[in-house]
Amino acid sequence: MLQSDDSRPVQPSPNPFFEADVLPYGMPAFDRITDDHFQPAMERGMAEQLREIAAIVGSNEPPSFANTIIALERSGGLLTRVNRVFSNLNGVDSNPERRAIQRELSPRLADHRDTILLDSRLFGRIEALYAQRETLGLDPESLRLLERYHLDFVRAGARLTESKQRRLRDINAELADLATTFSQNIMAEVNDAALVVDSEDELRGLSAGSIRAAAAEARERGLDGQYVLPLQNFSNPPQLVHLHDRKVRERLMAASLGRGARGNDFDNRDIVARTFRLRAERAALLGYDNHAHFVLEDQTAGTVGAVNDLHGRLAPAAVANARREAEELQALINETEAEPFELAAWDWQYYAERLRQRRFDFDDEQIRPYFELDSVLINGVFYAAERLFGLTFEERHDLPTYHPDVRVFEVFDRDGKPFALFLGDFYARSSKRGGAWMNSYAVQSELLGGRPVVGNHQNIPKPPEGEPTLMTLSEVTTMFHEFGHALHGLFSNVTYPRFAATAVPRDFVEYPAQVNEMWAVWPEVLANYARHYETGERLPQDLLDRVLASAQFNEGFRTTEYLAASIIDQAWHQLSADEVVGADDVLDFEARALSAAGIDLAPVPPRYRTPYFSHIMGGYASGYYAYIWSEVLDADSVAWFEENGGLDRANGDHFRATALSRGGSADAMTLYTDFAGREPDIRHLLERRGLLQEP
């Protein structure tokens, strides 16, 4: 028992996961949850679910949809609840205690899942129902639930022999452990590899606010008098746009590209090589040629060939565009530098910004004062949601959060009734993983009665106390993008939690978010939020026109760096286990894959390199292509909105009813054609990215 300072016994605090929800919408009681609550709650949750499964398979009644599929859908409530909170917190506010729990429980949770999915008696009941599915009188969503559960069990190995199932369980447990170590290494090295500089002069070109933030970051690390530039998830640090000192740019790029392969405690090369080998072995056990074949069979793409064809169609035009851009940047260097040098990766962003200024007569610092965070969120993101869907938002200060920077908004539907909570967590911090994402703390379903609690997360540098948060256009677009994911969660209107929110194929999940980006520069929305943070003056029309005119500028670079990462993902996952190279050859394999695809352009590194490619070590394994696959649908949808009147309630209600509210309850491409009334046309994407011309 715990002891207090005066030696009197202290009773452990009651575990809030063992109590009924007391906060609105099932909002987690962050003010009461402590780290020592997680493991007992997950252990009880696993035990409870196994008892629930035992009751299903031990029934003397013949299998029915109610006593098998519905019972399975209801099982594991406590485990789902606590795991959702724990996994989300580990991404947004990690600490050593949570990381230790994650390391211990990840393989156990994987084994728990296998225990259920490889239960022959449970699968026997599901297979019996599947065989008679057309005669059960099920509604379409219930029929799809039965079919999906059957597919889940088959793809998990339910038809394998006992010896192969034992090997499969070992593989899954090891993969869970490797994924945990990889993610923890990534977070640790983002902090460890941050660039430290000694003088303000080395930061020439950065804004005064950015320099103050770098000094504040250094002070937090005990480096008074120095400056720290934190790294972000992707290869190209955003500071490269502005840093005048070429040596500092080179050091910053080297720090970024070297992550996960520096021979230190956070080196991930052994981990990624072992992961790819185990994934390939697992795919072979399940009867597939490779991991990509296994994954893509259950996506809208359908086949490895479809993804390879997409890459093959886009890469040559993208690289040709990037080469033309490189020639322009080299010409600018030759013209403006007293001692010209060859364009390198750490130069691209800097000179691209100089060229953009020359060509379009504006820079990021001119527009940042018009993109103050509160105005972008409330007068931009929320305003567009109100105009399109009838939603309104009211900030609540009475609900507990996991960090002081997190804000909570109650969401009111088009009829004025409250129906969900939205959490906004926008600032970077050392305990938070990089990038931007949406997650759910609670999901809607008619079966269980849940209502949505969703969060959006970014890594915007927090300014010094008392200063405004002025965003780049990229950060603004990201905020609209992530809110598109949030809308997907908020609008969920399904019967079964298996289909709730963003439970759709990986190559469809990005689609609603990418569509929502269009409102960031929609004239009516932009006019409402893009106002000078001091004067309230609107973004001048001539400046706006120049910003919009630059939309395809540097598009060759952007598309090439993305496709390079996507091709790396497929290259690894289209290998057999015997073909996966060892740790020492990881970077060489990556280089060979890019060369073979004709996309090895030295000044344009992949958006992510293998040792820090978090997407493909997580849910996007063999799936990083999903962004551009979804963008085909997105670009076609933008054309649909433009053809049908744009920011209009009727359009929003139609989009909500046909696509956003249905989660995974129907085939993804069926949802798309229900919305658009047509098959998507790739020409809209090619036009957007400037890829229509021949290379």
Report DSSP letters for 336-361, one per residue: H-SS-----HHHHHHHHHHHHHHHHS
- DSSP-derived pairing of the beta strands 227-229 and 195-197: antiparallel
Cα-Cα-Cα-Cα dihedral sign, residues 325, 329, 331, 332: positive
Angle CA(549)–CA(553)–CA(557) in degrees, nearest 5? 160
In whole angstroms, what is the distance from residue 323 CA to residue 314 CA?
14
DSSP, residue by residue, 246-314: HHHHHHHHHHHHTTT-SSSTT--HHHHHHHHHHHHHHHHHTT-SSHHHHHHTTSSS-SHHHHHHHHHHH
Catalytic residue among 73, 189, 325, 482: 482
Cα–Cα distances in Å, from 2 out to 7, 8, 10, 31, 530? 9, 9, 5, 20, 54
| Token pair belonging to 203 | 């930061």
Residue with tokens 């886009």: 314
Three-point CA angle 274, 279, 281, nearest 5°: 95
Residue type, 321: N
List CB contacts of 500: < 8 A, sequence separation 6 or more.
Answer: 443, 444, 445, 450, 492, 494, 663, 664
Cβ-contact 214, 226 below 8 angstroms: no
Q: Is the dihedral of CA 477, 481, 487, 489 positive or negative?
A: negative
Is the alpha carbon torsion for 437, 438, 440, 443 positive or negative? negative
Structure tokens, 302: 């359908």
Tokens of 25: 């919408």
Which H or E element spans position 113?
A: helix 96-117
274, HSE (Cβ side, Cα atoms, 13 Å): 15
* DSSP 3-state percent helix, strand, coil across the chain (nearest 5): 60, 5, 35
Q: Is the sign of the CA dihedral 153, 158, 164, 165 positive or negative? A: positive
Give strand pairing partners of 418: 412
Q: Which amino acid is at 500?
A: A
Count of beta carbons in the 10 Å neighbourhood of residue 524: 12
Q: Is 421 helix (H, G, I), strand (E, B) or coil?
A: strand
- Tell me how many degrees the CA angle 332-337-342 measures, rounded to the nearest 5: 70
Residue 392 CB: number of other CB atoms within 10 A?
16
Active site annotation includes 395: no
The H-or-E segment that residue 424 falls in is strand 418-427
Task: Tell me if 607 sits within 8 A of 565, measured CB to CB.
Answer: yes
Q: Measure the CA–CA gap between 362 and 354, rounded to whole angstroms.
A: 9
- Which tokens is 620 given? 């996007």
Collapsing DSSP states into helix, strand and coil, what is residue 420?
strand
Task: Check if the beta carbon of residue 636 is closer than 8 Å to that of residue 681.
Answer: yes
Residues annotated as catalytic are: 482
